[in-house]
Amino acid sequence: MRYRPSRLFLENLRKHRLAYGLGTLAMLITSISEVFLPKFIQWSIEVLTDKSAVDPHGTLDRLVLGLVISLTLGWLGRVGWRQILARQTHLAGHEMKTRLWSVLKDQPLSLLDRYSLGDLMNRATADWNKTRFIHGFTIVLTFDLIFFTTLSVASMLMIHVKLALLCLCVIPFLPRYIIRISRLEYTFHQVAQEQLSLLSDLISQAVKTVRLQRATASEKVWQEKLQSHAREYADRQFKVLHASWRIFVLGALPTIIAYGILFTYGVMEVQAGRVSIGAFIALQSYVLLLQSPLFELGSVISEWQTGFASYHRIAEIYNLERETKPTSEALVHRFHNPDVAVHLQDLSYSYDQNQSVLTHINLIIPRGEKLGLIGPIGAGKSTLVNIIGGLLEHHSGLVQIHGLSLEQGQRDWIVKQVTMVPQKPFLFAGTIRHNLSPMGTADDEAMVDALKTVELWDDVQKFMGGLDCWIGEWGINLSGGQKQRLALARALLKPSPILIFDDCLSAVDSITEARILNQLNAKLAGLTVIWTAHRLSTLQLCDRILRLEDGHLHRVERTETRLPESGHRSPQPLDAVVEV
């Protein structure tokens, strides 16, 4: 099933039809209330200027009461559509973000060969923001334009047909020109969004390579490149704004013409006695009130055009769902090996043709084993565990998880089998609670228990808000050790049979590390753990330790001792290890 913007939009309308129905009713009530205001003015003036009126004061009292009722209904209608229709903007935005995440999280890493990171970020931010508005605020503008314009025109015709037609003579010709400009704006917007994707990707590259830039004194080159792309985006965006202003000018034209007619031919009709003063003032009020929806006409068309242009880019990501099939239960049942967690056979990997990082690696990790990996910096420990976790592709050899190869298992299956804690974990801009359980599946009791296990609960209690304390993206207001421990606690809350810890306690002091290891002992019972580290003390819980060097794994033998405050047997420090 291929997703199209129009189909997705209509699906949302059907899904929330009750809310849209009530919101439409609220908009209609608001428009009726606003349209009645000039009529109350007309009736009041006519009562005051009519010398033959029998009970002018009583009539005015009734008019004031009617005006109050009308204003009250209008206020209730305005509150209603704000609470119902405008809220749909935020609900649709949440649903789109959730859907985007559900599609992207299960895609193969080769997706980045087709879409740059900057392009994906642009779709998930700028395009998402444009798209969500057409589900709420754009619909509000559209309903306001339709209801208010129709009712106002009808009211003007009821006052004086000829004068009203003359005031409105230009309006029927406007949509044709506005639509033509809007189509041009649509094209400019698409071009601008493509340039924004390029700029976002370039910014991402610049941030990633900032250290290299400083080391090679190439900051100026990057700065000039970024400025060039930023200017190009600004030029393209200016074309979009220029088209919008042309629409704005066209929207103001009918009001100018209408006032010209009113203060020439309309004044003549008043002097001739064919139009009352109250009717003349009411017509002026309607012309003034119509100015707002005429301006909105351009904005509405522009919002629909740019919104659906962005919707096309969002739908393109949705359609990636068709390329990702869940790992079938039959396939898992056929190849499932309950005794072996990880099996590597003749695994090799290189980042370029001249330098091989891993060479013909063969390894079997039984279910429930705690395997430690040591080795010098750059030996390929992170590369190896990233391959096992499905984060690196294009390797040679066989990698199996519980008997199923990575090529057979899709991302949805792999993420259920493997949880990974990197040395430099990513943390969201949000609360500690959200970072511990992004999907909201863990309760407070489980979170507190995980934080206590990693020796972070005491710190969290001191933070303002506790679990609801806000942390910046990448955990900018946390120390290195706090970031690692928070990521480790998050991993303990995700029930996966295989845990990969990639030197995830490197920023934690040795005393805190020892307490964490003692408390982790019971938590890791029955789970398969692959743990890389530079300090051998970090691998005290491991049943077996291997050294990775020169692309090969080497077996390490060691004597065993007991950890303080723990009955678990663990290796002695590095001087007790003998490589064979």
DSSP 478: S
DSSP annotation string for 118-152: HHHHHIIIIIHHHHHHTTTHHHHHHHHHHHHHHHH
Are 96 and 164 in the same domain? yes
Are 256 and 374 in the same domain? no
Contact by Cβ (8 Å): 425, 434:
no
Q: CATH no. for residue 132?
A: 1.20.1560.10
Q: CATH no. for residue 366?
A: 3.40.50.300
State which of 277, 304, 323 marks the end of a domain: 323
State which of 299, 323, 347 marks the end of a domain: 323
Give me 326's structure tokens: 């869940």
Are 176 and 118 in the same domain? yes
Are 382 and 268 in the same domain? no
Q: What are 496-547's pLDDT values in tens digits?
A: 899 999 888 888 888 888 888 888 888 888 899 999 988 888 888 889 999 9
Contact by Cβ (8 Å): 566, 560:
no
Contact by Cβ (8 Å): 298, 250:
yes
Tell me, what's the pLDDT at 362? 92
Give me 358's structure tokens: 């891993």
User: Which CA distances in Å does 347 have to 344, 441, 552, 566?
Assistant: 6, 36, 10, 37
Residue 171, classed as helix, strand or coil, is helix
Give me 176's structure tokens: 């044709």
Are 98 and 193 in the same domain? yes
Tell me, what's the pLDDT at 569? 40
What residues make up the domain containing 231? 5-323
Residue 338, classed as helix, strand or coil, is coil
Are 227 and 337 in the same domain? no
Contact by Cβ (8 Å): 397, 361:
yes
Are 308 and 344 in the same domain? no
Q: Strand 528-532 to strand 498-502: parallel, antiparallel, or no bridges (unpaired)?
A: parallel
Are 254 and 314 in the same domain? yes
Return the axis-axis angle of helices 5-15 and 277-318, rounded to nearest 10°. 110
State the 10-residue block means of pLDDT for the chain, 580 residues long.
82 90 91 89 84 75 89 91 86 85 75 74 84 88 86 89 87 76 77 82 78 78 87 88 77 82 88 87 86 74 83 86 59 76 91 80 92 88 89 85 82 83 81 82 88 89 85 74 89 88 86 88 89 85 89 72 41 39
Runs of H (alpha helix) within 168-262: 174-208, 210-216, 219-261
DSSP annotation string for 274-335: SS-HHHHHHHHHHHHHHHHHHHHHHHHHHHHHHHHHHHHHHHHHHGGGGG--PPPHHHHHHH
Q: What are 1-32's pLDDT values in tens digits?
A: 677 888 888 888 899 999 999 999 998 999 89
Are 133 and 179 in the same domain? yes
Q: Strand 430-431 to strand 470-471: parallel, antiparallel, or no bridges (unpaired)?
A: antiparallel
State which of 265, 289, 323 marks the end of a domain: 323
Are 384 and 338 in the same domain? yes
Q: How open is the CA angle 280-284-290, to the nearest 5 degrees?
A: 140
Are 167 and 69 in the same domain? yes
In the chain, how many domains are there?
Answer: 2
Tell me how far apart the alpha carbons of residues 411 and 461 are, in angstroms, rounded to a whole number. Answer: 36
pTM: 0.57
Are 253 and 283 in the same domain? yes
